[in-house]
Amino acid sequence: MKVTKPKQGEAIDARASALREEVRMIFKNVVEPLDQLELIDQLQRLGLDYHFHDEINRTLKNIHTGQKNETWEKDLHATALEFRLLRQHGHHISPEGFKRFTENGSFNKGIRADVQGLLSLYEASYFSIDGESLMDEAWSFTSNLLKDCLENTVDLDLQMRVINALELPLQWRIPRFDAKWYINLYQKSGDMIPAVLAFAKLDFNIRQALNQEELKDLSRWWSKLGMGEKLPFARDRLVASFFWSLGITGEPHHRYCREVLTKIIELIGVYDDVYDVYGTLDELELFTDVVQRWDINAMKELPDYMKLCFLSLISVVNETTYDILRDHNIDTFPHQKKWFNDLFECYIVEARWYNSGYHPTLEEYLKNGFVSIGGPIVMLYSYICTEDQIKKEDLEFNEDLPDIVRLACEIFRLSDDYGTSSAELKRGDVPSSIHCYMSETGVSEEVSREHMMNLIRKKWAQINKLRFSKENNNSLSWSFVDIMLNLIRAGHCLYNAGDDGFSVEDVVAKDTLVSLLVEPIPL
Ligand code: 0FV
Ligand code: MN
Ligand code: MN
Ligand code: MN
Ligand code: MN
């Protein structure tokens, strides 16, 4: 069926293409490497970079191979910005350049007053590769100094940027979640380019309207399913699930991926509550077994609420299998079935632990927990729903959960526990990573939380290392790894921003969501 666009929609599209071409010309005319880097950084923060992938990649490639001048070499901000952007896009650059700002292995006290430089070095330090001690030093040096300088900085906008960065670094953020905030800062900044600003606002609104449409369709799916009423104990948070999928990929052409991920995440949330909160152990053992057999005839053994769970599961898997087979000529059914079986296997382990009062060690807990958090299954669905060409061998490589996937999912587990474990403990649930470590070592909750944050940083550095190592390059594309990491970035944004350790429910009701999905930017 052909859908005719309303006149107003056509005018907006035309305006957007005109602005896009104008920005492309502006990009082309910027020649100084530092100016180019600043522009790329701004486009990324404004959420516009997806329009200019080719330009960005070409420019960074040239900068990577080009020569730097002397002024550049004395500029901490320039050195750090170059380091961060090159590494972000897969160009290996050594941290040697930072040695110019050190004395006897420690950063020079002389750079204390350069708040912009410190901030850039702080952001760069999150791109460190495990084992780079200079970058560890950069992180502790800058995070301490930035906290101190908050009291003295006079420039209010710079202060806001420092607060925002200390809350979460760029490497851990989803730029689109902060795009509105940044547009506001950019609008006031001295190097603002009107066409870039206008395009950022318009593009934000266009994507918002698209997302609203997607959410409307998904809400229809969810209310028709009726699980909210039939399983009132389980979470009913379609908007939150959509929000996760939007974090994983916000690009307009990944609409199908957002649709599937929202459904999967919403259902996983319900099944997780069945295992954690509602089901008796006997029922759960039975359910796990029926799903293992994937046998519709065996369904009669289940209580009605579990029949609904099983049927909703089969239905979404069948539908996705159909779509992928139609569009990619590959049968993903055995894979999808395996992903759910692996997930439920880990859910049941936790249910058994809880029911027997067993306290696992942190290591034992994490070995199960990196799967039970749902990271692997969501990453695998992201893979089949975003790749232009799904290859069987790549799918299998991914499915075996190589180190980079495992590390990412461990981070996801740790940051979920960071945000949700207090509520879970009160309600009655398996002890979280924080509590496993407390009973194992006898430390306080505060110390244990600090330990988890250090572990998270360490695991990120290990991921950065693997991204640059040969053995991971064959199967996982740079851009897919980014999509995969977006899941844990969304986790950081929802669980770890600020010190209050809030949970998703609270956040979702908060400003981020309304501002992202409801309120357009006045043009
Ligand atoms: C986890 O719930 C949950 F719902 C998450 C992380 C939302 C998004 C899920 C995915 C993207 C998979 P909960 O804290 O109850 O999980 P655990 O495993 O702690 O029961
Ligand atoms: Mn749970
Ligand atoms: Mn659970
Ligand atoms: Mn949790
Ligand atoms: Mn838990």
Q: Which atom of ligand 1 is nearest to the CA of 272?
A: 20
Report residue 105's pLDDT band, with 50, 70 and 90 as the boundaries.
confident
> 477 CA distance to ligand 4 centroid (A)?
30
Q: Taking the domains of the chain in order of start, what are their residue ranges?
A: 19-199, 226-517
Band of the pLDDT at 422, cuts 50, 70, 90?
confident
Mean pLDDT over each residue of the chain, to the nearest integer: 93
- Which CATH number does 226-517 carry? 1.10.600.10
Residues with CB under 5 A from ligand 4 (ion): 416, 420
Q: Quick: pLDDT tens for 121-142.
A: 999 999 999 999 999 999 999 9
- Residue 20 neighbours by CB distance under 10 Å: 17
CA atoms within 13 A on the CB side of 280: 4
64 versus 512: which is more confidently predicted?
64
Kindly report, residue by residue over 444-486, the tens digit of the pLDDT.
Answer: 999 999 999 999 999 999 999 999 987 655 678 899 999 999 9
- Determine the pLDDT at residue 502: 45
Please tell me if the CB atom of residue 141 comes closer than 6 angstroms to any atom of ligand 1.
no
- Of all helices (H) and strands (E), which one includes residue 102? strand 102-103
Domain 19-199 has CATH 1.50.10.130: yes
d(CA 111, CA 113) in angstroms, rounded, equals 6
Q: Are 327 and 386 in contact (CB under 8 A)?
A: no
* Ligand 1 atom nearest to 429, measured from its CA: 20
Nearby residues for ligand 5 (ion, Cβ within 5 Å) = 424
- pTM for the model stands at 0.95
What is the residue with the minimal CA distance to atom 16 of ligand 1?
A: 373
Q: For residue 329, what pLDDT is reported?
A: 96
148: its two tokens? 């101190």
DSSP 47-68: T-GGG-HHHHHHHHHHHHHSPP
When pLDDT is averaged across residues 388-408 and rounded to a whole number, the result is 93
Atom number of ligand 1 nearest to Cα 264: 12
Q: How many CA atoms lie within 13 A of 479 on its CB side?
A: 8
Q: Can you give the pLDDT at residue 500?
A: 45
Report the residue among 339, 349, 373, 485 best suited for mutation to probe ligand 1: largest number of ligand atoms under 8 A from its CB: 373
